[in-house]
């Protein structure tokens, strides 16, 4: 029992902070600064709890699991949640401000739980804890019709996908007889048709979280209509948690049913499903983004495309691919959170996020424009920024076993296309003249945070080892590269993981 | 260390300029000049300090960067690198001198400018192909902003077209790069490791597709026909210093990287594809020259002449013999200087003063009288560009043609015709612009006199082309020696027909 308390200390602290925030909001409604400070202090205390008590634990048969990798992701998610809170503190409507911060914290707790579990039941519960506050946050701007539409859409499609997921997980449970991923990974023999159906349904449920085609329809309206700070959390934190748990479920729990997605050599399993969704997302996201005139909507289509890149990494089903996905999702989340931060500041300053609202940003707020440049160039995968290293690693690992050349060709080509729409936004910011009646941007905390995120993106681009090495650390002591480095951090791999999927053959075997 | 100082000084200059407060903005050009001069000094001293009898690759630096992917920060130089580095230094200094009059947002202008310079320095010294690609891509984005924000005719279109072509080219390179890494099995991006058959082996069928993908990807930037159309549009839209950079060094990034990476890694693929590529290169020479002949806009004439001259570079590369290859490297240097000079005269000395580039209209302005220095410089540049003996263009194109005579005697006929047309369009532009027949009209507003920075910049470039024309061995000796190294020797295939 004590160990359970210890293991869930950060989450508990955050929940207490959220309750305090709610209490403050009731008793002292106008006080934005103390409310924000309470939330931030709670967040920092939770981070301190993670950092100061690095505990490895596996409780209640995998319900709560703590290991180095889970800790990294809890920290990242916590950071993204706090970033959303900072953006919210300067851009959310005054009414019910405390409730919005509390919702952000609750959702963050859900994401953190998601990063530290190996149990189907817990996965579903944590996912719901993540999603339900996000539905409310998307609809939080009561004076905006599009915010109401965003909330409604997100809620409807989200609950349908949750139903898919629940059904899928229950089928997997029915076949395996256990909700523990470790037990599921021990299954052997040819896959049961029920299991295949379960996997497909579960993947569909997660594809909604990642906004992969064909489950992407909600994304543009939600990103555009939701208050920007809420959109930032949906695009960053919830994506990190979703991708992390999808990666864990597929590679650790269901690794033996990956199948193959090589050109002309499809084998039934989840890899070909992911491969097709990845290719469709990359193409559709990038092509549709070309014609957008609202930057938040553009970021939504870019998010769809990036969801595709992440799935591409997953479907290589190799240890390197997994590290690459985890690396890239963190980079992407930092970048996109920063980009939404810039949008939040610009929206506050000029009242909108259309392309025209970015005119002459380089003149009116040069630092903000420079940060925007860093984020967008990173999203476009141009060195020396982190997004480039992330994509490079992702593509390299996808090609490492020689299977996915067709996917990499699609991804590289579409990545070149993507530069066009990022450049269009940057053109408005850097080339076009500013309108005359521009006030200087306020929101100092958001601006400082945006600058810090831009710096992080630059530093991680120049020194990717800062993040790569910790991600690979779980197997550092074991020495062997053939071991699944991330999977080791996820769960102790059963024998077939170390030998079958993850040995990945000699590099270049396909040539 | 002295090599890394070249790009570090450029990036440091860019960072310093960004940190300048608004009221000190006019200092930006001074910082840019200091940074460019420092870069030139480092490059020149690396060149001077190159031991002609020592190892082929010198000034080596190797620091692990991303060990899990086998990526290291690995720089060094042989004769080819050093020639290109010195070229970059010269063009960088001249470019700053010719943009001394930039008053619109000078901080951003010079910061972007120095970023390009730093990226170019980086490419010419990288021996880890991942690092090379990083520097190669750093150059792309600043180009867009420099052209779109400070350019002239049709600038947003020109900037976007140029950027899209560059990015499409580097997408091909990226694809080939990743495939190379995966196929090698060497777990390394180190060029020496990958080119060593005992450590990394590429099957002929892999080379057969990876070579053209990578080579064409690089060659887009070198203006290979028919993927060259970004170059004239982009050159024309760009502000003077950027046209000089584009023609002077950025196009050379493509040809240099094609030689350094694509050709050394995939000798068998090269063997398979050299004839088609040589044909494309020759087509570039002929069509570039023909189209230049038909232009009414002086800057377009110069822009298309770059295509023709870069055609010689690519043709020289495909000869795969010592004469052609070394001539090709020399031509990169020579055209860098001459192209830079031509764009400087057209963009800065003439267009900034007359606000027209129409050859017929310029002809009525009696420019040889009102801007004698511009006329003199343009004459020198034209004569050098036509390949007259005594200038660098002659020795470069002569060696390329003599190399091609051994490799592709048939292609020598169209290439020779290209040389003749080059003379024709250059003389046409020179004569109609500066020495038009007929009664010169009195000019209502006599153009402002040529300023000192312009004269210094022009003198620097003219001195460089003249020096190499008279004494080519300064560059040719280290270039020739470079092709003896185990890395570069792989590309040489002495044809004994």
Q: Render pLDDT for B181-214 as a digit per residue (tens, 0 to 9).
A: 888 888 888 888 888 888 888 888 888 999 999 9
- Whether residue B232 lies inside any domain: the answer is yes
> Which of B69, B168, B179 shows the shortest C-beta gap to A399?
B179
**Which region holds residue B248: left if phi is over 0, alpha if psi is between -120 and 50, else beta?**
alpha
Any CB–CB contact under 8 A between B266 and chain A? no
Q: How far apart are CA B336 and CA B475, in angstroms?
A: 14
pLDDT at residue A505 in the model: 36
Question: Is A381 a residue whose pLDDT tops 60?
Answer: yes
- Which residues from chain B sit within 8 angstroms of residue A399, using beta carbons? 178-179, 181-182
pLDDT at residue B445 in the model: 65
Read off the pLDDT of residues B443-486 as tens digits, 9 standing for 90 and up. Answer: 556 778 888 888 888 889 889 988 888 888 888 888 888 888 88
- Is B66–A402 a contact, with Cβ atoms under 8 angstroms apart? no
Q: Are residues A372 and A421 in the same domain?
A: yes
- Whether residue A200 lies inside any domain: the answer is no
Q: How far apart are CA A471 and CA A324, in angstroms?
A: 9
Q: Are residues A131 and A72 in the same domain?
A: yes
Torsions phi, psi for A262 (to 5 deg): -65, 155
Read off the pLDDT of residues A230-248 as tens digits, 9 standing for 90 and up. Answer: 999 999 989 999 999 998 8
Instruction: Please state which of the ranges A65-79, B168-182, B261-275, B360-374 shows the lowest mean pLDDT.
Output: B360-374
Token pair recorded at residue A33: 């600064």
pLDDT at residue B436 in the model: 76
- Whether residue B75 lies inside any domain: the answer is yes
β-strand partners of B297: B358
Q: Look at residues A175, A209, A242 and tell me which one is the last residue of a structural domain.
A: A242
- Which residues from chain A sit within 8 angstroms of residue B134, using beta carbons? 383-384, 388
Query: Mean pLDDT across chain B, nearest whole number?
Result: 87
Disruptive mutation site among A434, A459, A506, A511 for chain B (greatest number of B CBs within 10 Å):
A511
Any CB–CB contact under 8 A between B68 and chain A? yes
pLDDT at residue B443 in the model: 59
pTM confidence score: 0.90
Q: Are residues A436 and A336 in the same domain?
A: yes
pLDDT at residue B440 in the model: 58
pLDDT at residue A337 in the model: 94
Residues with Cβ < 8 Å from A477, sequence gap 6 or more? none
- Which residues from chain A sit within 8 angstroms of residue B20, using beta carbons? none
pLDDT at residue A501 in the model: 37
Q: What's the pLDDT band for A42 if we cut at 50, 70, 90? A: very high
Q: What is the DSSP string of B399-423?
A: HHHHHHHHH-TTTHHHHHHHHHHHH
> Which of B141, B149, B181 shows the shortest C-beta gap to A382?
B141
Disruptive mutation site among A419, A461, A507 for chain B (greatest number of B CBs within 10 Å):
A419
Q: What's the pLDDT band for B55 if we cut at 50, 70, 90? A: confident
Q: Report the pLDDT averaged over residues A82-110.
A: 89
pLDDT at residue A500 in the model: 35
- Whether residue A167 lies inside any domain: the answer is no
- Whether residue B496 lies inside any domain: the answer is no
- Which residues from chain B sit within 8 angstroms of residue A416, using beta carbons? 164, 167-168, 170-171
Q: Report the pLDDT averaged over residues A305-331.
A: 88
Question: Is A479 a residue whose pLDDT tops 60?
Answer: no
Q: What's the pLDDT band for A389 if we cut at 50, 70, 90? A: very high
Nearest-Å Rg of the Cα atoms of chain B is 21
Question: Is A16 a residue whose pLDDT tops 80?
Answer: yes
Question: Is A353 a residue whose pLDDT tops 90?
Answer: no
Disruptive mutation site among B178, B217, B239 for chain A (greatest number of A CBs within 10 Å):
B178
- Is B206–A402 a contact, with Cβ atoms under 8 angstroms apart? no
3-class DSSP state of B228? coil
Between B493 and B40, the more confident residue is: B40
β-strand partners of B73: B63
pLDDT at residue B439 in the model: 60
> Which of A383, A396, A465 shows the shortest C-beta gap to B181?
A396
- Whether residue A178 lies inside any domain: the answer is no
Any CB–CB contact under 8 A between B11 and chain A? no
How many CB atoms are closer than 10 A to CB A307?
29
Query: Mean pLDDT across chain A, nearest whole number?
Result: 84
- Whether residue A253 lies inside any domain: the answer is no
Interface contacts A/B by beta carbons within 8 Å: 92
> Which of B149, B167, B183 shows the shortest C-beta gap to A419?
B167
β-strand partners of B61: B75
If we measure between CA atoms, which residue out of A27, A15, A208 comes closest to residue A106?
A: A15
Any CB–CB contact under 8 A between B112 and chain A? no
Read off the pLDDT of residues B10-52 as tens digits, 9 standing for 90 and up. Answer: 999 999 998 888 888 888 888 999 999 999 999 999 998 888 8
- Which residues from chain B sit within 8 angstroms of residue A396, using beta carbons? 69, 178, 181-182
Q: How far is B148 from chain A (nearest CA, A)?
A: 6
End-to-end Cα distance, chain A: 54
- Whether residue B472 lies inside any domain: the answer is yes
Task: Report H helices in A236-360.
Answer: 237-247, 270-289, 295-315, 319-350
**Which region holds residue A439: left if phi is over 0, alpha if psi is between -120 and 50, else beta?**
beta
Give the Å distances, CA to CA, from A227 to A91, A149, A240, A449, A451: 8, 12, 20, 18, 21
**Residue B125 is part of which domain span?**
2-438+447-489
3-class DSSP state of B71? strand
Check: CB of residue B134 under 8 Å from CB of residue B170.
no
Token pair recorded at residue B163: 């950027």
- Whether residue A333 lies inside any domain: the answer is yes
- Is B164–A419 a contact, with Cβ atoms under 8 angstroms apart? yes
Q: Are residues A329 and A378 in the same domain?
A: yes
Any CB–CB contact under 8 A between B137 and chain A? yes
Q: Are residues A224 and A305 in the same domain?
A: no
Q: What's the pLDDT band for A491 if we cut at 50, 70, 90? A: very low
- Which residues from chain B sit within 8 angstroms of residue A362, using beta carbons? 108
Q: Are residues A313 and A389 in the same domain?
A: yes
Token pair recorded at residue A238: 């919830």
Q: Are residues A32 and A113 in the same domain?
A: yes
pLDDT at residue B438 in the model: 62
If we measure between CA atoms, which residue out of B158, B425, B431 comes closest to residue B294?
A: B425
Q: Are residues A235 and A365 in the same domain?
A: no
- Whether residue B397 lies inside any domain: the answer is yes
Check: CB of residue B85 under 8 Å from CB of residue B47.
yes
How many CB atoms are closer than 10 A to CB A158?
22
Q: How far is A129 from chain B (nearest CA, A)?
A: 37
Instruction: Please state which of the ranges A38-42, A48-52, A57-61 shows the lowest mean pLDDT.
Output: A57-61
- Whether residue B494 lies inside any domain: the answer is no
3-class DSSP state of B440? coil
The count of structural domains within chain B is: 1
Residues with Cβ < 8 Å from A335, sequence gap 6 or more? A375, A378, A379, A386, A387, A453, A457
Any CB–CB contact under 8 A between B20 and chain A? no
**Residue A332 is part of which domain span?**
264-491
Check: CB of residue A76 under 8 Å from CB of residue A84.
no
Tokens 């470079």 belong to B482
* Beta-sheet pairing, A64-66 with B71-77: unpaired
Q: Are residues A232 and A295 in the same domain?
A: no
pLDDT at residue A480 in the model: 30
- Whether residue A385 lies inside any domain: the answer is yes
Residues with Cβ < 8 Å from B433, sequence gap 6 or more? B298, B350, B359, B362, B363, B367, B378
Disruptive mutation site among A320, A383, A464 for chain B (greatest number of B CBs within 10 Å):
A383
- Is A420–B133 a contact, with Cβ atoms under 8 angstroms apart? no
Q: Are residues A290 and A430 in the same domain?
A: yes
End-to-end Cα distance, chain B: 45
Q: How far is A365 from chain B (nearest CA, A)?
A: 12
- Which residues from chain A sit within 8 angstroms of residue B183, using beta carbons? 402, 507-508, 511
Q: How far apart are CA B212 and CA B219, in angstroms?
A: 10
Question: Quick one: CA torsion of A112, A116, A119, A121, rounded to 10 degrees?
Answer: -20
Read off the pLDDT of residues A199-229 as tens digits, 9 standing for 90 and up. Answer: 889 988 888 888 888 888 889 999 998 999 9
Question: Is A452 a residue whose pLDDT tops 50?
Answer: yes
> Which of A402, A420, A508 shows the shortest C-beta gap to B164?
A420
> Which of A393, A413, A423 shows the shortest C-beta gap to B163?
A423
Check: CB of residue B426 under 8 Å from CB of residue B382.
yes
Residues with Cβ < 8 Å from A161, sequence gap 6 or more? A204, A205, A207, A208, A209, A215
> Which of B108, B133, B183 shows the shortest C-beta gap to A508?
B183
Q: Which residues of chain A are at the B interface, by a Cβ-Cβ cutoff of 8 Å? A: 362, 370, 377, 382-384, 388-389, 392-393, 395-396, 399-400, 402, 405, 408-409, 412-413, 415-416, 419-420, 423, 426-427, 430-431, 464-465, 468-469, 472, 506-508, 511
Token pair recorded at residue B497: 């027909």
Q: Are residues A237 and A268 in the same domain?
A: no
Check: CB of residue A111 under 8 Å from CB of residue A76.
no
The count of structural domains within chain A is: 2
Q: How far apart are CA A38 and CA A40, in angstroms?
A: 5
Q: Report the pLDDT averaged over residues A102-111.
A: 94
Read off the pLDDT of residues A61-81 as tens digits, 9 standing for 90 and up. Answer: 888 888 888 889 999 999 999
- Is B137–A383 a contact, with Cβ atoms under 8 angstroms apart? yes
Any CB–CB contact under 8 A between B145 and chain A? yes
> Which of A383, A399, A468 shows the shortest C-beta gap to B134?
A383
Any CB–CB contact under 8 A between B466 and chain A? no
Q: Are residues A444 and A413 in the same domain?
A: yes
């Amino acid at each position: 029992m004590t160990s359970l308390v210890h293991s869930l200390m950060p989450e508990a602290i955050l929940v207490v902070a959220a309750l305090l925030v709610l209490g403050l909001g009731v008793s002292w409604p106008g006080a934005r600064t103390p409310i924000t400070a309470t939330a931030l202090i709670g967040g920092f205390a939770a981070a301190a709890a993670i950092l100061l008590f690095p505990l490895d634990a596996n409780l209640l048969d995998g319900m709560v699991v703590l290991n180095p990798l889970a800790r990294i992701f809890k920290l990242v998610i916590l950071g993204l949640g706090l970033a959303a809170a900072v953006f919210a503190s300067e851009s959310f409507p005054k009414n019910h401000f405390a409730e919005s911060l509390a919702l952000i914290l609750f959702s963050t707790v859900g994401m953190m739980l998601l990063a530290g579990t190996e149990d189907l039941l817990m996965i579903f519960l944590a996912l719901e804890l993540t999603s339900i506050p996000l539905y409310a946050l998307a609809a939080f701007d009561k004076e905006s019709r599009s915010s109401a539409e965003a909330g409604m859409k997100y809620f409807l499609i989200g609950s349908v996908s949750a139903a898919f997921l629940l059904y899928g997980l229950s089928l997997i449970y029915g076949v395996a007889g256990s909700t523990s991923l470790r037990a599921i990974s021990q299954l052997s023999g040819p896959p049961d048709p029920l299991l295949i159906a379960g996997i497909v349904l579960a993947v569909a449920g997660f594809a909604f979280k990642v906004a992969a085609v064909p489950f992407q329809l909600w994304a543009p309206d939600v990103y555009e209509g939701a208050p920007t700070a809420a959109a930032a959390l949906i695009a960053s934190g919830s994506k990190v948690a979703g991708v992390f748990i999808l990666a864990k479920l597929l590679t650790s729990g269901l690794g033996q049913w990956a199948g193959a997605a090589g050109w002309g050599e499809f084998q039934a399993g989840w890899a070909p499903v992911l491969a097709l969704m990845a290719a469709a997302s990359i193409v559709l996201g990038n092509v549709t983004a070309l014609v957008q005139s609202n930057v938040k909507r553009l970021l939504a289509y870019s998010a769809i495309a990036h969801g595709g890149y992440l799935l591409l990494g997953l479907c290589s089903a190799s240890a390197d691919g997994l590290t690459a996905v985890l690396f890239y999702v963190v980079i992407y989340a930092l970048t996109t959170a920063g980009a939404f931060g810039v949008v939040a500041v610009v929206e506050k300053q000029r009242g909108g996020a259309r392309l025209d609202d970015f005119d002459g940003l380089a003149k009116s707020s040069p630092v903000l424009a420079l940060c925007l440049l860093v984020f967008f160039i990173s999203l476009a995968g141009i060195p020396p920024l982190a997004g480039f290293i992330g994509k490079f690693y992702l593509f390299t690992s996808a090609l490492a076993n020689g299977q996915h050349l067709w996917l990499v060709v699609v991804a590289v080509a579409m990545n070149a296309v993507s530069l066009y729409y990022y450049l269009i936004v940057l053109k408005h910011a850097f080339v076009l003249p500013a309108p005359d009646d521009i006030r200087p941007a306020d929101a100092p905390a958001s601006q400082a945070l945006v600058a810090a995120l831009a710096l992080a993106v630059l530093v991680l681009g120049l020194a990717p080892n800062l993040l790569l090495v910790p991600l690979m650390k779980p197997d550092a002591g074991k020495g062997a590269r053939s071991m699944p480095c991330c999977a080791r951090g996820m769960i102790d791999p059963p024998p077939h993981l170390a030998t079958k999927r993850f040995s990945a053959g000699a590099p270049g075997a396909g040539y | 260390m002295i090599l890394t100082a070249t790009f570090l000084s450029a990036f440091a200059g860019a960072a310093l300029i960004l940190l300048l407060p608004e009221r000190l903005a006019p200092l930006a050009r001074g910082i840019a000049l200091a940074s460019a001069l420092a870069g030139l000094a480092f490059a020149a001293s690396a060149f001077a300090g190159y031991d002609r009898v020592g190892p082929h690759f010198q000034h080596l630096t190797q620091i692990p960067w991303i060990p899990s992917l086998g990526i290291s920060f690995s720089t060094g130089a042989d004769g080819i690198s050093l020639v290109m580095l010195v070229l970059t230094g010269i063009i960088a200094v001249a470019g700053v001198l010719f943009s001394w009059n930039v008053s619109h947002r000078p901080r951003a202008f010079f910061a972007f400018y120095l970023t390009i310079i730093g990226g170019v320095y980086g490419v010419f010294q990288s021996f880890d192909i991942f690092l090379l690609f990083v520097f190669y891509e750093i150059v792309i984005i600043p180009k867009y902003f420099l052209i779109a924000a400070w350019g002239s005719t049709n600038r947003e279109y020109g900037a976007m077209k140029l950027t899209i072509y560059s990015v499409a080219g580097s997408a091909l390179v990226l694809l080939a790069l990743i495939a190379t890494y995966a196929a090698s099995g060497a777990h390394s991006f180190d060029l020496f490791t990958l080119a060593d058959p005992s450590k990394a082996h590429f099957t002929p069928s892999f080379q057969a597709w990876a070579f053209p993908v990578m080579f064409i990807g690089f060659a887009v930037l070198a203006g290979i026909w028919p993927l060259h159309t970004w170059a004239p549009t982009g050159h024309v839209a760009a502000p003077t210093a950027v046209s000089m950079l584009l023609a002077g060094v950025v196009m050379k990034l493509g040809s240099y990287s094609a030689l350094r990476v694509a050709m050394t890694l995939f000798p068998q693929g090269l063997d398979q594809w050299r004839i088609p590529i040589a044909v494309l290169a020759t087509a570039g020479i002929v069509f570039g020259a023909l189209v230049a002949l038909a232009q009414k806009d002086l800057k377009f004439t110069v822009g298309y002449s770059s295509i023709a001259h870069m055609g010689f570079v690519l043709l020289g590369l495909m000869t795969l013999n010592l004469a052609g290859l070394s001539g090709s490297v020399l031509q990169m240097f020579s055209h860098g200087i001459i192209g830079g000079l031509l764009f400087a005269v057209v963009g800065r000395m003439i267009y900034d003063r007359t606000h027209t580039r129409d050859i017929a209209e310029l002809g009525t302005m009696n420019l040889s009288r009102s801007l004698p220095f511009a006329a003199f410089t343009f004459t020198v540049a034209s004569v050098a560009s036509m390949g007259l003996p005594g200038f660098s263009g002659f020795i470069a194109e002569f060696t390329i043609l003599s190399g091609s005579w051994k490799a592709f005697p048939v292609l020598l006929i169209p290439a020779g015709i290209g040389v003749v047309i080059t003379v024709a369009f250059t003389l046409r532009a020179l004569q109609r612009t500066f020495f038009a027949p007929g009664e010169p009209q009195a000019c209502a507003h006599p153009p402002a006199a040529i300023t000192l920075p312009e004269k210094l910049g022009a003198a620097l470039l003219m001195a460089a082309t003249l020096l190499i024309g008279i004494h080519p061995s300064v560059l040719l000796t280290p270039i020739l020696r470079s092709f003896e190294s185990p890395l570069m020797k792989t590309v040489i295939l002495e044809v004994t027909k």
